[in-house]
Amino acid sequence: MQTRAAIYVRVSTLEQAENGWSIDGQISDIRNYCDSKDYKVVRIFKDAGFSGGDMKRPALQKMIEHGSNKAFEVVILWKYDRLSRNNIDFPALLHYLKTHDIVVESVNEPTPNDGSPYNEFVVGILGLVSSLERRVITMRTQMGIKKRLEAGYYKGSHPPYGYDYNQDTGHLDPHPIESKAVVVAFQKYLEYESLNQVRNFLEKMEYPTKKGGNWGITSIRSILRNRVYLGYYIYDGIIRMNEDIKLIDEETFEKVQHLMDERGKYSPMYKHNGKAALRAKEADFMDMGDEEVEAYLQQKADMPPCPRCDGQITVCKWGFRDSPTVGRLQQYYCRDCNYEFEQFPELPPREDVEPCPHCDSVYKVRKEGTAKNTAGERYQKYYCGGCERWFR
């Protein structure tokens, strides 16, 4: 029986620009490698535009999830640093995959996959080298940003909402429409005292977002908190003033900050979000009964300890949609060691999936027809994440 292989590829925006690395190029090299090894490719996981230090990459999380369900026996990488450039996360990922009997191989950094101490040592050194490269890149990037800011220029080329980046001058230029939306957002928040009503007003007046989608509460909150609209370039303690980009006066900005701070004290999230609930009780922001406090403390007591430091951990989010772990608490956070990690329990197979007829994948999600389909509700379409095919 052929060994089932999963391909994992990643490229950051900077790497693609400087080195010309591409997702398709990596996949092509890995497929040739799999052909030479007589591996059967059953999964392809792609993370485009993500840093190697980011553990929240969507495709990486899906690869870990599928691996825990025995979907493949080997993961093929173009280079080991595609998996992670963090000297803590890299060995942790290798260990996790190893506990599920999954081997990790690199096309451009071949090592003997015999489980020997020599192999683990070589792979570990390669991971440390990748971590060093990432830190050097980060340090150089930060130094470049600081030098630009000290010289009076904007810190980068990605402008905040309300502005365009002028490559000729190195400064921000107010966008003719977006800048008006910023001013309106500040004015309407003072009038409505509600982020939701500000969002509804911006939608009603058809002010565009940066990417053309719908307005979100988080985006509006970020705008109202951003001091760039006062005319400041700010980065890592460095502040430079540019009157030409100022959209909001100091008095209006401070009124908005004070109002947001006051309203935040009484929001449901503040009242019922973990330790904030106890802080709110102590500050008399809410009347929390003894039974509620006891229930909260019991919830904390039921959480497993952190596997890295035995500290108290809390839940971050739930399982992914359309995954075997949907609706199950998946991601955890430890405040003591400031670390986020995954725990994937062994779960029974889902009843709404079937084996793919083209490969050994176990995921086949049914999609009902829509009004755009000639068959309407009778239309059924399936997708296999292993061979990346849609079929009826």
| Cα separation, 63 vs 60, whole angstroms | 5
Residue 81, both tokens = 């640093």
Give catalytic status of residue 12 as yes or no: yes
Element spanning 153, H or E: none
Say if residues 77 and 105 touch (Cβ distance below 8 Å): yes
Residue 306: C-alpha distances to residues 5, 332, 337 (Å) = 31, 9, 9
Burial of 314 (0-12, 13-18, 19+ CB in 10 A): middle
- Would you say how long the chain is, in residues? 392
Token pair listed for 237? 């303690």
12, 68, 84, 130: the active-site residue: 12
Q: In this structure, what token pair is assigned to residue 90?
A: 């890299």
Residues ≥6 apart with Cβ < 8 Å to 38: 2, 3
Asked if 230 and 164 touch (Cβ cutoff 8 Å), the reply is no
As annotated, the active-site residues are 12
